[in-house]
Amino acid sequence: MSAHRSGRAQNPRTDVYDVAVVGAGIVGAALARELSGHELTVALLEARADVGDGTSKANTAILHTGFDAEPGTLESRLVARGYHLLSAYAEATGIPVERTGALLVAWDREELGALPRLKEKAEANGYEHCRLVDADEVYRAVPALGEGALGGLTVPDESVICTWTTNLALATDARRRGAELLLRHAVTGVRRDDGHTTLITTAGDVRARWVVNAAGLGADHIDRLFGHDRFTVTPRRGELFVFDKLARPLVDTIVLPVPTSRGKGVLIAPTVYGNVMLGPTAEDLTDRTDTATSESGHDFLLGKGERLMPRLLAEEITASYAGLRAAIDHGDYLVEATPEQRYLLVGGIRSTGLSAGLAIAEHARGVLAGAGLPLRARDRLPDPPRMPNLGEAAERPYQNAGLIARDPAYGTIVCFCERVTEGEVRDACHAPVPARDLDGLRRRTRAMNGRCQGFFCGAAVEALRARHHADDGCDRADGRDED
C-alpha cells in the first residue's frame, strides 16, 4: 500500500525516519504537513491518544491579524503571515471561519489613552485597517454593552475559526502526504546514536535523523533531554464560559479588552458554532495537567460579564471549561536549531500559534534547511482534505436534502442540541485520523457539546462510536492508524 493511501511512511518502524516531530497540536501538525511535502519520511509523535488534545483544543479560537503583536518580533511576522496562509487554507479545506471583525473597548481613561498607541502598533505591524471610534459608534456596533464605554478601536479583519477542525485538517493533510502518526508516544528520554537520535517513548523507541520539538507545554522538558536549559514553561490556566446559542444576537463581533499595565483582560466573542464565549482568566499554575474549572474563576468571569455586558448574564451558560497556555520566560517565539544534534526547538508558541501555525512551519522549514536538512520538494502532492463543516454559517448535513437522499444516515439526528447526525459520527470514526473516544467525537462533530452536554444523547453516541470503532484497527496500543 502506498504512503499516500495509508498515511504511513515507507520505512518500517525499525528503520530511521528522516524527521520526527514531537507534538501533534496545531504547530506540530503544521510542521509534519510542511515537511511531508518534501522527499522525507516523517513521524508525528503525540503523547496523548488524539491530535489536538492539549493546548490546541481549548483556546479562544480567534484568527488574529497580528495587529497587537510586538513589532519586530518573530511572533509579529509569523502571525501576520499565518493569518493569510490559514485564511487561504481554511477556504481550501472547509475549516469554518466567520469574518466578524473585532472592537477593542476602552472603559477608563488609561485604556482610552492606549488606543492611539495600539493603532500605531498595528500600522507598525503592517496592518492599516484599524480605526478609532467614539462611544456612540461603540454602542451602535454592540448595543448590548454595559454602560460606561468611552471609545474603541476597530479591527475589521479579525475572525473566529474552528480550532478543532484546523488541527485535524493539518494532521489529516500530513498523513495523506505520507507522515506516520504515532499516538500515545510520550517522549521520556533521548539517546544520540551514530547519525541519528533515538526517542525513548512510552510505546517504544522511535529513531530519526532529525528531531523537531513542538511539544507545547512539554517543550522545555524535551529541550532539557537534549541538554539545553533555554526556557521554562509555566502552565497558564484560562477559564471560559460558553453561552447558549440564544445569546448570539447580542454579540456579532469580537469584543476585545484594551491591553494595559494591568494585563490583557477578558473578551466576549461569538463562536463558529453559534454560541457566545466569555473569558479567559489567566492563572499561573505548576501542574501541567490541571484543566479543572474553579470557583474563583467563575466568580471572576461573572464579575467581568456584569461590567462588560449585563444582558449576557441573563442567558444560559451551556458549558464552562479551562485550557492551559504555554507561557514562557521569554518575549518571543523560540525557533532555534542545533545543527550538531540535528535538533530544532519550536517553543514558546503562545495562543497566537493557532493563527501563526502554517507560517511557523514555513519558517521552521527554512531554519532546518539552513541547519543542513536536505529538502527536495515532491513533484506531486495530494489535494488538501475537505473537512466536515462544523460551523453554523454554512450548510450542515442535516440541512442538505440531496445528501440525505443519497445517504439517509445524514438525516438521522443523534445529538439534537447540536444537530449532529449518525452519518457524521460514522464518518468521524472512519476518517484518516479517526475519533477514538467521546472527546474525539466532540471535536470532530460537535456531538454532546450543546445544552444537555451529552445527558440525552451520550449513550446513543457512545453506542455508535463503539459499533464503528470495533474492527477498524484504530485502538492499537501503539496508536498507529490502520486503514
Return the active site residues. 64
**83-87 — which CB contacts under 8 Å span 24+ positions?**
83/157, 83/355, 85/358, 85/359, 85/362, 86/161, 86/166, 86/354, 86/355, 86/357, 86/358, 87/63, 87/159
- Plot region of 453 (φ>0 → left; ψ -120 to 50 → alpha; else → beta): left
Nearest one of 163, 57, 29, 95 to 439, comparing CA atoms: 57
Which residues 6+ apart lie within 8 Å of 256 measured at CB? 102, 103, 104, 105, 155, 158, 267
Question: Whole-angstrom distance between the N-terminal and C-terminal Cα of the chain?
Answer: 10
CA 457 to chain centre: 26
CB contact at 8 A, 387 and 272: no
Grid-cell match 498607541, residue found: 117
CB contact at 8 A, 328 and 335: no
Between CA 117 and CA 103 the distance in angstroms is 15
Nearest one of 288, 374, 290, 304 to 339, comparing CA atoms: 374
- Plot region of 52 (φ>0 → left; ψ -120 to 50 → alpha; else → beta): left
CA 276 to chain centre: 18
Q: How many CB atoms lie within 10 A of CB 181?
A: 26
| DSSP 8-state assignment for residue 432 | S
